A and B are shown apart, each in its own frame.
Chain A
């Protein structure tokens, strides 16, 4: 079967339901940049590709700015967003399997942002990466267009890179979950993800209302089955 490059990129990234397309690599986690996510010091900025990835993540799951001149995060929502939840760290995490595809993704997104600006007669700040230079409303419109108004492999590619952001925020996929919950991972904290027991396993001794809440179907069989 011949695979297009986009199919490979897409599948290497993530499936269309947000379920991981990840390998577990033999190599340890590749945290290439030590100053991303919640660890970014106040008053610093990231390199242009990282800013573009952060802006992509922030468009999908927005959060508050990390510092005054944080251009990557638009500040469209209160609380920590996908960037603080480690979206870029997750994309660069070895087992996620997409780190080598990120430059191509950034290039493609930048091209789309430039095209969007041109077609909407927007003047972009030349000192910023094109997607970062867009206002939140325009970023959001562009992401919606890329994920909903394209088709086939192209659509799935954009959707797949969206999935990475959701996995970072909703699963802390680059961290062991018990550790992530205990250390206050912003996404899991926002969800209200339950805390594990001391042995890193979850148990819920209190799990049921313990009362009859509906009548059973009158034709239910002796073993509780539908007829």
Chain B
């Protein structure tokens, strides 16, 4: 650590959608922006099609907590690099959700129509593509046909994918080797960099406290992470900023704030509470190839109806039928066809409440190409609570890609009931006319999610929301939270587009705060970023 303290106008913590978008907006408005990202910086050609254990684990963290396990990105671009690119707007009824005390959870000023202009902006910028039926892979086609057979509608899912470039390889967890998935690496981050933002990989922020340099408000400390072993620290430093945007992800943001409490004076009690795994619940089905042909009329090639589980984009189709405001709370959920890599193959059970290992499971495995997995996203109860943060980092990193979090998640009876209802709905669709057999996918003590949310959420009530509706941490002017942790509830759809839309909306407030802090920025509209490639990390 050098003696002089580095300064910048705006410091952004994290480079996923919640960090990249404010980084671009602030840089484009004229602010000096530094982005600190915990993970490594990989270029398109460095992403692999490989399940060898030392490949994809470079950019994905698997974090185990008490009652829940979380998959999250760990690289420049954050989870946008490893996500499955489903780009859905949150249904209107979600914004009106109330907690068990009857209080509205989302800010009163927030609704679907209020957020729609920001969704428009993000959809245009990424951009999001509408899949036609010609673009929906076989697995999505099977789910659509099964829904239709059971009397339900089913839609192709909008995706943040360049459909012309996509090879339908189904390796999205490893990052996109073909530059087709519209991660932050291809839009907001290169645009932020073009406007002078300084993006630094392998920098893990540890604390936020008061600045010592006149004219600056916050001092941020970080450690340098060894790119070959993330458990090793190679140094550290301090940066002081007038405005800080915290977007380290829903698993990391609360840890940074909790650790910083002695420095900041007081951190809202809601920081680190109300965590939601987005109500995620996976089911699976073993399909009957003959019935697929005779009942649903499907044929992939002569004599073969399906046998195509590993082919295509991971998310193809989804029924919106249960996203109906007229249904009772707990009975509203999205049911989406999705593919998971074989690293999760321990989870399916050989029958409804059956075995996850042994001869019957092996027999099930032999029919892997006839599997179908369906993700239900239900209304959960924000039951997660973070405990004492570790001395450094977001969790205790045991290995490069694995960590133990202080988070505790105990789903309420209402959440479990919602999962049971969504299971029953899937079963009804899949088992109609014997098209398939619905199977459990629960051979684990923990709930599994790739959609961590709400651990530092926005809201109108100080007791239940750490941030104000404009994403400012309560009691701390110029300190904003713009990642998935700011989302108030589970969304019943994949959350990435909503996180991005909220970050776009929040950026307007951050720019205003920057002006108030004396930074020379223009508060008018900045143009949407152009598209390009971020390329390799400097140096």
Taking Cβ atoms with an 8 Å cutoff, the residues of A that contact B are: 1, 3, 7-8, 11-12, 14-26, 59-62, 76-77, 79, 81, 90, 93, 95-97, 140, 143-144, 155-156, 159, 162-163, 166-167, 169-178, 190-194, 196, 200-221, 223-227
Selected A-B contacts with CB under 8 Å, 5 pairs: A79-B362, A201-B49, A208-B133, A216-B155, A223-B158
A217 CB contact (under 8 Å) in B51, B58, B321, B355: B321
> Quick check: B53 and A17 within 8 Å, CB to CB?
no
Cα distance A212–B298 in the bound complex, in angstroms? 11
Enumerate chain B residues within 8 angstroms of A12, measured Cβ to Cβ: 398-399, 402
> Quick check: B168 and A59 within 8 Å, CB to CB?
no
B343 CB contact (under 8 Å) in A19, A24, A191, A214: A19
Taking Cβ atoms with an 8 Å cutoff, the residues of B that contact A are: 49-55, 57-58, 60, 62, 64, 69, 71, 88-89, 91-92, 112, 119, 123, 128, 130-131, 133-138, 141, 144-145, 147-148, 152-158, 167-171, 177, 228-229, 231, 296, 298-301, 307-308, 310-312, 317, 319-321, 323, 334, 341-347, 355, 357-359, 361-363, 365-366, 368-369, 388, 390, 396, 398-404, 406, 444-446, 448, 493
B357 CB contact (under 8 Å) in A61, A95, A96, A207: A61
A24 CB contact (under 8 Å) in B123, B147, B344, B400: B400
The 8 closest A-B pairs by CB, nearest first: A21-B402, A24-B54, A214-B154, A18-B346, A11-B398, A95-B54, A23-B400, A214-B148
> Quick check: A220 and B320 within 8 Å, CB to CB?
yes
- Give min CB distance, B63 to chain A, whole Å: 8
Enumerate chain B residues within 8 angstroms of A213, measured Cβ to Cβ: 133, 136, 141, 144-145, 148, 154, 296
> Quick check: A177 and B50 within 8 Å, CB to CB?
yes
> Quick check: B53 and A208 within 8 Å, CB to CB?
no
Enumerate chain A residues within 8 angstroms of B346, measured Cβ to Cβ: 17-18, 162-163, 166, 170
What does DSSP make chain B's interface, helix, strand, loop or mixed?
loop
> Quick check: B312 and A207 within 8 Å, CB to CB?
yes
A204 CB contact (under 8 Å) in B55, B145, B311, B343: B311
- Known pairs A21-B399, A208-B312; A170 contacts B343 (CB<8 A): yes
Enumerate chain B residues within 8 angstroms of A156, measured Cβ to Cβ: 64, 445
Q: Which of A12, A61, A96, A162 has most B Cβ within 10 Å?
A: A61
- Known pairs A97-B399, A207-B168, A224-B130; A175 contacts B91 (CB<8 A): no
Cα distance A176–B347 in the bound complex, in angstroms? 23
> Quick check: A202 and B54 within 8 Å, CB to CB?
no
Cα distance A81–B362 in the bound complex, in angstroms? 9
Enumerate chain A residues within 8 angstroms of B131, measured Cβ to Cβ: 224
Enumerate chain B residues within 8 angstroms of A159, measured Cβ to Cβ: 444-445
Cα distance A190–B51 in the bound complex, in angstroms? 16
> Quick check: B169 and A19 within 8 Å, CB to CB?
no
> Quick check: B50 and A225 within 8 Å, CB to CB?
no
> Quick check: A226 and B57 within 8 Å, CB to CB?
no
> Quick check: B300 and A209 within 8 Å, CB to CB?
yes
Q: Which residue of A lies closest to B58 (CB)?
A: A24
Cα distance A207–B163 in the bound complex, in angstroms? 12
Cα distance A7–B300 in the bound complex, in angstroms? 46
Cα distance A204–B355 in the bound complex, in angstroms? 33
Q: Which residue of A lies closest to B400 (CB)?
A: A23
Enumerate chain B residues within 8 angstroms of A163, measured Cβ to Cβ: 346
- Known pairs A15-B62, A194-B311; A155 contacts B445 (CB<8 A): yes
Cα distance A155–B67 in the bound complex, in angstroms? 12
- Give min CB distance, A64 to chain B, whole Å: 11
Enumerate chain B residues within 8 angstroms of A207, measured Cβ to Cβ: 137-138, 168, 308, 311-312
Q: Which residue of B lies closest to A81 (CB)?
A: B362
Cα distance A227–B158 in the bound complex, in angstroms? 14
